[in-house]
Amino acid sequence: IEVARSDCGIFIYQRKYTLDLLDGIGMLGCGPQNSLIEVNYQFCSWKTKDSAKEVDHHFCDEGADPFDKERYQRLVGILIYLSHTGLIFAYSLSVVSQFMHNPRGLHLEAVYQILRYFKSAPGKGILFSRHGHLKFETYTDADWADSKVNRRSTSEYCSFMGGNLVTWRSKKQTVVSRSSAEAKYRARVQGVCELIWLKRLLKDLGIRHEHSMRLYCDNKAVINIANNPIQHDKTKPIKIDRYFIREKLDQNIICIPFMESKNQLVDILTKTLSSTGFIL
């Protein structure tokens, strides 16, 4: 990781490592791409001799050939290391990481497209600068039932401390959610846990933070569930999560303000965006 200091702040990036990587795999002269994954492209797994898992081949490219597993795993591992200096790679890497056990040609092509994007922007990174405050803010969202293999949702969050991005994550949920509100509520719980962890980390460093931490939400149903003390049948699947968030609200540890979907920063971690939306 390279570090550049200026009057604007501290900028961390991995330009040299990226170019060395592309040179090492023979892609230094490849054509650049302006997006990480093709929009609306569906990925899936294949049934193998060692697995009895059923696969919906309607969403698969059945003509895709298997590929060298070790090479695929090595490339994805390198890309995961590169994601340490940029949240924009988190969603695409979470997608290709799901096929480590049995990669195919189309999965490898997705990895190559990510590498071609690195060619177009080898110097991307994160800027840490002083904003004059120490506010905690987290943006969370979920893409409901986006997996065509098992219909599990993808939840994600990104956290800011003092106006600077410090943590982010994009991960498939462990259970199937029956509604978009349920999927988004599970994502909110992960965001709350991240905020609490950051607050405890600062406390260990001798810095106390007494103000409410903001958990931004673009779904009014989720906000209503969090603030409504009455239990309904539809909220039974998330009963424990509901009480957890309710407790933190009552203790004034967090607040959940509403925000418009167009201002939702974690869309880049939720789904594949077009090149225009991705750049913006």
Reported confidence tier of residue 9, pLDDT bands at 50, 70, 90? very high
Would you state the pLDDT for residue 160?
92
In a domain, 239, yes or no: yes
Q: Are residues 265 and 135 in the same domain?
A: yes
Q: Kindly state whether residue 193 falls inside one of the protein's structural domains.
A: yes
pLDDT confidence of residue 38: 67
What confidence category does residue 272 fall into, taking pLDDT thresholds of 50, 70 and 90? low
Domain extent at residue 16: 2-45+68-125
| pLDDT (tens digit per residue) in 220-235 | 877 887 777 665 555 6
- The predicted structure's pLDDT at residue 69: 82
**Residue 70 clears pLDDT 90, i.e. is over it:** no
**Residues 147, 100 share a domain:** no
Look up the CATH number of the domain holding residue 253: 3.30.420.10
Whether 111 and 204 map to the same domain: the answer is no
* pLDDT tier for residue 274 given thresholds of 50, 70 and 90: low
- pLDDT at residue 121, as a whole number: 80
pLDDT at 62: 43
Is there a contact between 225 and 237 (Cβ–Cβ < 8 Å)?
Answer: no
Structural domain includes residue 56: no
Highest mean pLDDT among 41-55, 63-77, 181-195, 224-238: 181-195
Q: In sequence order, what are the residues at sequence separation of 6 or more whose Cβ sits closer than 8 angstroms to the Cβ of residue 258?
A: 217, 218, 220, 223
Structural domain count, the chain: 2
Query: Residues 36-65: what's their mean pLDDT?
Result: 51
Rounded to an integer, the average pLDDT of 31-45 is 68
The mean predicted confidence, pLDDT, of the chain is: 79
Unique residue bearing structure tokens 């999927």: 183
> Would the pLDDT of 10 be above 90?
yes
Considering the entire predicted model, what is its pTM?
A: 0.74
Q: Is 50 exceeded by the pLDDT of residue 40?
A: yes
- CA distances 189 to 126, 155, 179, 254, Å, are 26, 10, 16, 11
